Structure 1
Amino acid sequence: MSLSNVQRYRSLAILTAAAGAIYPLLYLRQNFEGPLLETLGISLATLNQASSWLGAVFLLSYAPSGWLADRVDPKILIVSSLAGTGVIGYVFGQLPEPDLIKWLFSAWGLTTGLTFWSALIKEVNELAGQHHQGRFFGILEGGRGLVEALLATAAVAIFAYLSTSDAPNSVEAMRSVIGFYTAFVFAMATLTWLLVPPNHKANAPDSHQVAAGQLFADLRTIASNAKVWWVIVCILTGYQFLWATYSFSGYLQNHWGMSASIAASITLAKLWTRPIGAVLSGFLGDRFRVAVVLHWSFIVAAIAMLGFALAPVGSDASALAIIAAVGLCTYSVRGLYWAILDDCAIPRHLNGLAIGFISLFAFTPEIYLPRLNTYLLTLWPDGGGYTVYFIWVAAGGVLGAYAAKRL
């Protein structure tokens, strides 16, 4: 991709903002689990079921998304994804019947999985070049975290104002939050279309790519690369940390006895640790070596998550401190785990397919963690279910540290 540094960083900034805009609608539970359940008139089990459907669609989409990213201009895929996600968000904001929720989440799986994810990762990989992988992926993770934090700050303010006014209405407050996020997604679709240059050259299929039966040979090439499987372990266990943070709001409300607004405010603080942890780890990775920094990030993240799982119920301030520590470590891991892809010596024309192949296995927590969460909370509804859930994730962090060390 023959772009100047100004063009590279401008494109990175827009793609980062787009990535920060497209996912919050899918994960509103992160800050608004209680109000979202009330607004939609559904149970936590129903929301977890919809999340599992989302994860299943992701699982089916990842490999084809990599194939698409090797053949279609990423700009077209990304703009289409943003527009489609916005349309579904508008429908979601009309408060559909509970039976339709899982179908909307499945549709989101297509717009954010099939046409978005591999295109985004491949585009950033191309923009970074050989020597700035840690930096660019750290900026991507930290920057989209900053965008999500800014959006969440505005969303929490909107919700708090509308739900505590003279005539409080939490349902309308929640609808306003959904509408706010939807409008921003449409805005990013427009900006991406106008300001990100096309990348036809990187995605022009050659004779190797389109030969009959070549797809299976390419998949064998990727699957036979031992480092690819260690990358999968790193991303899978790192992704478990992120998924565990989605339950913090519900845990603080149900076990610590906090109100919805206070729990949302505390989990919002966790989002603000994302730019710090991800960007810092990205620059450290380029300085000392990505796999080494990732190894130690996993170890500290596991310790922090274990501390949160075993912490006694205390003040709002203690909850804030613990969650901020967990967030800083979690996003340090996330800022690095895609940067190690460049250490796998994958042929450049197979980058998109490799991203899809890795994602196929690495993001399976999207499917099994919501089910595990439901099962554990049913088995131990008094808070013990959350404790076991967080310990499971911390143990996975130890495995991730081992995988990073092997790399």
Structure 2
Amino acid sequence: MGNKLGILIAGYGGAISSTVVAALDLMTRGLRPRLGMICETTEPSGITVGSKLGAPDLADTVISGWDVVPETIGEALVTHQVLTDTDIRDVSPATKGMRPILVPPKHTETTNGHYEFGGRIEKLRQDIRQFRAENQVDWVVVVNCMSTQPTPAWSANYESLEQFQTACAKGDPCVTPSMEYACAAILEGAGYVNFTPNLATIPALLELANQKRVPLAGKDGKTGQTLLKTALAPMFKLRGLQVQGWFSTNILGNRDGEALSEPDACNTKVTSKESCLDNILGYEVDDHQVYIHYYRPRRDNKEAWDNIDVDGFLGYSMQVKVNFLCRDSILAAPLILDLARLMAVSMREGEYGPLTQLSMFFKSPEVPVGTPVQHDLFVQRQIFEEWVEKCAAHAPVKVAV
């Protein structure tokens, strides 16, 4: 079997996704360095983590995806202004001319009753099959990079596969787009990565993933402020410093920030960002506040500001202040490439269901039932490294030509 990887992104024309596509083009043509990716970091032995695992190479990776906006990648790059004009100019004309697969309308006219999960999911399945065949890929990974959506009210249709299937076939509004992409991916044997905080891997889809033996990873990519939080909190715990309060605020001006200006969508994101602190420290922080603000002038250059109040020796109080001036898509894009390549390794290994070893990539890690959720970045790293060592023993050996 070969080792060619195909990535299908929901939200293909967004800031993160268009950055992923352009970056892949620039790196594989040797025009930009392969930095910021775990699979490209070098082990003491001198080989990269990706090579050690036998992960698909970036040069053996193709990307497409879905969007509601028919912009080309070139147009999307200009719209989002993540990359410099020089970088955009250096992206190949072929890549800049790529367009998304248009998202099927909510009520796709394919006579829902003729398909087990309804017409819309069937259309997504057809797209996955066509992409797989046209590009002759060995692994397909579907990545959810859509905007944050309000968390739906819990439905009984989520509880069992049979109920969920009926809801899909009827076009029940309880079935969200994130669930549709997850369902289509699982049915087509494609790994599914939920890089958003949107609800997707409900019990019904976990059941389906176990039946089809498909791996899942999520949710909500950990790229900036929460990455720092899950690194700093273990330090306070190690030194016995009692966290009395943690005030976090964010400003960003891209489409994600605009979507988060809607209160219900913002609540979905804030809940995800708040989930880590008590888990790491082992006690409830009474005053943990998280805020997200849309501020258009910043565009994709978001700012994360944290004020942390701690009590130390003899109860004396101290403060830590962190100001992270970062780039949203530049932090997120390499994680998409890493996750897709690591999912391909998991599929080769026959792993399925939620992948605990990828917890360090997410704000709200999803793990198998009965497995403790770990938020501590260093515990997560240890779990990942143990998995790397296990898989490295099975990695295919590259033969020099």
TM-score (norm 2): 0.28
Q: Which structure ranks higher in relative contact order (CA pairs < 8 Å, sequence separation ≥ 6)? A: 1
More strand by share: 2
TM-score, normalised relative to structure 1: 0.28
